[in-house]
Amino acid sequence: MSGVLSSLDGLIPVSVLTGFLGSGKTTTLNALVRSPEMARALVIINEFGEVGLDHDLVTQGHEEMQVEMIGGCLCCTIRGDLLATLRDAPWRFAREGRCWFDRVVIETTGLADPAPILHTLMRDHTLETIYRLDSVIATVDAVNGAATLARQEEAVKQAAMADRILLTKTDLVGEPEREALTARLRALNPAAPILAAEHGAVAAHALFGGGAFDPAGKSADVQDWLRAEAYADHDHVHDHAHAHAHAHAHGHDVNRHGPDIRATCLTFEEPLDPETFERWIELLTWMRGEDVLRIKGILNLQGQPGPVVVHGVQHVFHPPVVLDEWPSHDRRTRLVFITRGLDAAALEETFAMVTPEPVPDAPVDVDVEEGGEALTAGGSLTGWTR
């Protein structure tokens, strides 16, 4: 064994941080990386779609020990990349011939099915000589959680497979909503502690350690999901040649997840007028609110010295935050939309409705539904917070 691995005196704990779109994974990670337990943690951030923003928006000060995996979801299109990243990491992040990190935290995309990821982490023969799965943490948004669990199978799996559940955004709901959601989560996952984490405030020691992740203690559903992965993996071995040829023939559409959910990134070269932006988002969510699962962006706005970070999560638009400085040289407005059945042309068409400016692509018909809900304006674009 090489010097890098022989320097290890044990297996490196890996924690998986999952949770549905916008439920507070990055906020939690951003708070966690400041804790001493994370001083030598390798952080792997997976973002769906070909443009990642989390890398720019979070974990400032921890960039050296961060791997960004964009262009697909770890649970499906780029699962092999996770294997390769983890296998190489002890060498890639070695210092003076020794593996430097003592913990790994993997932030999944909000759409990730954790079963294939956990299966990969627990069953790969190389990985099991270097790492052990330590904990699976699922963030559940107290505002949108109940509706999300009712509609999105991924969210159910994330909460059911976790061994810690973090209830986020408890500051935005009343006690009855919180109790109802807690009861739903207890039914899904009786064993996992449910911890409140307002704005990511949670003690690192509550999330890490306490024994390796043990699927045997989970519900029958969880065991079935993991077993299904084992069978799928077995079939995959036999189908590999075919699958490989197929992937080459068609390529992966890194922006898609399932038949109709896709990520679209829109960029704007020139600073945007804040009122135009606000009108656009209001119009979009009024027309197609049900289909806009997530909006995440860094904006260059007229009249603002610094960049403005915006987050829309289903019908909640969180208060925009002004950053002191741009996280990189890129000063363009970049907005990532995760939508159901809405493509770039449809998004651009709604933008064209609020601005006289021409938009780059030819517009296409937008299927306007009556009665779309407006965003709950947690933050107007004129009410900045830092």
Ligand X SMILES: Nc1nc2c(ncn2[C@@H]2O[C@H](COP(=O)(O)OP(=O)(O)OP(=O)(O)O)[C@@H](O)[C@H]2O)c(=O)[nH]1
List interacting residues with ligand X (CB under 6 A): 19, 21-27, 54, 110, 139, 168-169, 171-172, 198-199, 294, 296, 311, 313, 318
Q: Residue 328: how many CB atoms within 10 A of its CB?
A: 10
For residue 206, the minimal CB distance to ligand X (Å) is: 16
What are the angstrom distances between the C-alpha of 71 and each of 19, 187, 209, 339?
Answer: 19, 35, 31, 16
Q: Which of 274, 27, 317, 39 is nearest to 172 (CA)?
A: 317
The 8-class DSSP code of residue 63 comes to G
Q: Rounded to an integer, what distance in angstroms lies between the CA atom of residue 337 and that of residue 245? A: 31
The nearer residue to ligand X, 124 or 198, going by C-beta atoms, is 198
For residue 278, the minimal CB distance to ligand X (Å) is: 16
Residues 6+ apart with CB under 8 A from 253: none
The nearer residue to ligand X, 127 or 170, going by C-beta atoms, is 170
Q: Collapsing DSSP states into helix, strand and coil, what is residue 163? A: coil
Task: Tell me if 159 sits within 8 A of 167, measured CB to CB.
Answer: no
The nearer residue to ligand X, 32 or 313, going by C-beta atoms, is 313
For residue 141, the minimal CB distance to ligand X (Å) is: 7
The nearer residue to ligand X, 168 or 189, going by C-beta atoms, is 168
Task: Tell me if 255 sits within 8 A of 49, measured CB to CB.
Answer: yes
Task: Tell me if 85 sits within 8 A of 38, measured CB to CB.
Answer: no
The nearer residue to ligand X, 54 or 348, going by C-beta atoms, is 54
For residue 92, the minimal CB distance to ligand X (Å) is: 24
Write out the two tokens for 377.
């304006």
For residue 165, the minimal CB distance to ligand X (Å) is: 14
Q: Collapsing DSSP states into helix, strand and coil, what is residue 32? A: helix
For residue 376, the minimal CB distance to ligand X (Å) is: 12
Task: Tell me if 337 sits within 8 A of 292, measured CB to CB.
Answer: yes
Residues 6+ apart with CB under 8 A from 245: none
The nearer residue to ligand X, 24 or 145, going by C-beta atoms, is 24
For residue 66, the minimal CB distance to ligand X (Å) is: 14
Q: Rounded to an integer, what distance in angstroms lies between the CA atom of residue 48 and that of residue 63? A: 19
The nearer residue to ligand X, 226 or 314, going by C-beta atoms, is 314
For residue 258, the minimal CB distance to ligand X (Å) is: 15
The nearer residue to ligand X, 130 or 167, going by C-beta atoms, is 167
Q: Which of 278, 273, 253 is nearest to 343 (CA)?
A: 253
The nearer residue to ligand X, 200 or 215, going by C-beta atoms, is 200
- The DSSP secondary structure of 72-138, one letter per residue, reads S-TTTTTHHHHHHHHHHHHHHTEETTEE--SEEEEEPPTT--HHHHHHHHHH-TTGGGTEEEEEEEE
- The DSSP secondary structure of 350-371, one letter per residue, reads HHHHH-SS--SSPP----PPTT
Write out the two tokens for 69.
């995996």
For residue 265, the minimal CB distance to ligand X (Å) is: 13
Q: Residue 51: how many CB atoms within 10 A of its CB?
A: 16
For residue 198, the minimal CB distance to ligand X (Å) is: 4
